[in-house]
Amino acid sequence: MYTGHAMSCLFCKIVDGTIPSTPVYQDELCYAFADINPQAPVHVLVVPREHIVSMDECKQSNCNLMGHLLWAAAEIARAKGLGKGYRAVLNTGSDGGQSVEHLHVHLLGGRALSWPPG
Ligand code: AMP
Ligand code: ZN
């Protein structure tokens, strides 16, 4: 299986272990770890092992992978007992508030979240 890797990418380095993280879940397609600056009692990032810049870069061939990331987030939410609900967010591009250019799903939960986000 080809897994694109960008040398200068923070999350590629987290996926390959060059930069340490607190693992939450992993499988052949994705890696999930604790956000270093949590915005809720549960704040996990689910990233594809493959380097994809953002949702804006997704191709139809990434459909299975994208679904897998959401499934993994749901599994993590169940494992963490977020039965009252949670939020899965993909910040995309500068207006979307994306600061790391490796696609990631934020899983936020453990408190009531306000809407709309800022
Ligand atoms: P975004 O702003 O949507 O691109 O989200 C990037 C997220 O990555 C932020 O919530 C950061 O707190 C988080 N983050 C940045 N560096 C690290 C790191 N070394 N380990 C874990 N999370 C990180
Ligand atoms: Zn990357």
Give the gyration radius of the chain's Cα atoms.
14
Ligand 2 centre and the CA of 1: distance in Å? 16
Residue 91 has pLDDT above 60, yes or no: yes
Q: For position 4, what pLDDT does the model report?
A: 66
Probe residue for ligand 1, chosen from 45, 57, 108 as the CB with the greatest number of ligand atoms within 8 Å: 45
- The model's pLDDT over 64-77, given as tens digits with 9 standing for 90+, comes to 999 999 999 999 99
Quick count: other Cβ atoms within 10 Å of Cβ 103?
Answer: 26
Whole-model pTM: value is 0.96
**CATH for 4-109?**
3.30.428.10
pLDDT tens, position by position, 10-28: 999 999 999 999 999 999 9
How many angstroms is it from 37 CA to the middle of ligand 1? 7
Query: Taking 60 as the threshold, does the pLDDT of residue 2 lie above it?
Result: no
pLDDT mean across residues, the chain:
96
Provide the percentage of residues in the chain whose pLDDT is more than 90: 93
How many helices (H) and strands (E) the chain has is answered by 2, 5
Ligand nearest to the CA of 96: 1
- What's the pLDDT at 1? 39
CB-based contact 54:60 (threshold 8 Å): no
Distance CA(14)–CA(1), nearest Å, equals 19
Question: For residue 31, which phi and psi values (nearest 5 degrees)?
Answer: -135, 135
pLDDT in tens, 23-71: 999 999 999 999 999 999 999 999 999 999 999 999 999 999 999 999 9
